[in-house]
Amino acid sequence: MSERVVIFGATSAIAVEVARAYAARGARLFLVARHAERLAALVAELGPACAGSAAADLTDFERAGELVDRARVALGELDVAVIAQGYLGDQLASERELVEARRIFATNLMSVIALAIPLANYFETRGAGHLAVLGSVAGERGRPRNYTYGAAKGALTVYLQGVRARLAGRGVGVHLIKLGPVDTPMTVAHRKHVLFARPPGVANAIVRAIDAGRGEAYVPWFWQVIMAVVRAVPDALFRRIRALQDR
């Protein structure tokens, strides 16, 4: 039987490639995204692989359960749910204005939790399935460049650790994909360097991590080594390393 996959935040550069990867191997998809025109174009591209779609603002938390139900009805059951929405935001603005900090947390943390609750409950009842969330290595340690975004991603790590422990032994995989920097429209203003990955390769690594049942996976893989070093640096020294403290 074909996999039945729902993707939230489906028009982000990485999520589009994840959708293409699943469609290429015969999965049936339900796609949810905020940008209606981009969503319609992706649905048209995927053709019969797409069983349905919904244009929705995922920070409208009250609709989360409804969107999960729509995906389940369209696909019959859910085998994989990928939560991919994200918002890097303006770090300097988030330091001055609560409205920007709240927007960063609403998109990167609360909208994920709003979806994770009904999805985790559904998969727990079914006794099968995969819940995958796109996180970030920015959640590993606070840096001046992006600590509001990083704090939201760090909180997400702890939340999903709890969901994973809760569902252990229930036949449900809970996967956090910790992404390094990726060359996408979200990072268009960032100076690119050799560690920036490309969306197609990242998407394939995400699908492989879900297939392998990995609870936490760094994508690309070498970020696991890099972040182990970053976490081990004492705080006094960490604050003196200019490359880590630049705005």
| Per-residue confidence (pLDDT) for residue 6, from 0 to 100 | 98
- pLDDT at 69 > cutoff 80: yes
Under the banding of pLDDT at 50, 70 and 90, the label for residue 183 is confident
- pLDDT at 168 > cutoff 80: yes
Give the CATH number of the domain where residue 223 resides: 3.40.50.720
| Per-residue confidence (pLDDT) for residue 73, from 0 to 100 | 98
Q: In this prediction, what percent of the chain has a pLDDT beyond 90?
A: 83
Domain count, the chain: 1
Question: Could you list the residue range(s) of the whole structural domain that residue 18 is in?
Answer: 4-245
CA atoms within 13 A on the CB side of 225: 4
* CA separation, residue 71 to residues 28, 147, 167, 199 (Å): 11, 34, 21, 25
- pLDDT at 76 > cutoff 80: yes
| Per-residue confidence (pLDDT) for residue 188, from 0 to 100 | 58
Contact present, 111 and 58 (Cβ < 8 Å): yes
Instruction: List the one residue out of 30, 54, 5, 24 whose CA is nearest residue 200.
Output: 24
Average pLDDT rounded to a whole number, residues 137-147: 91
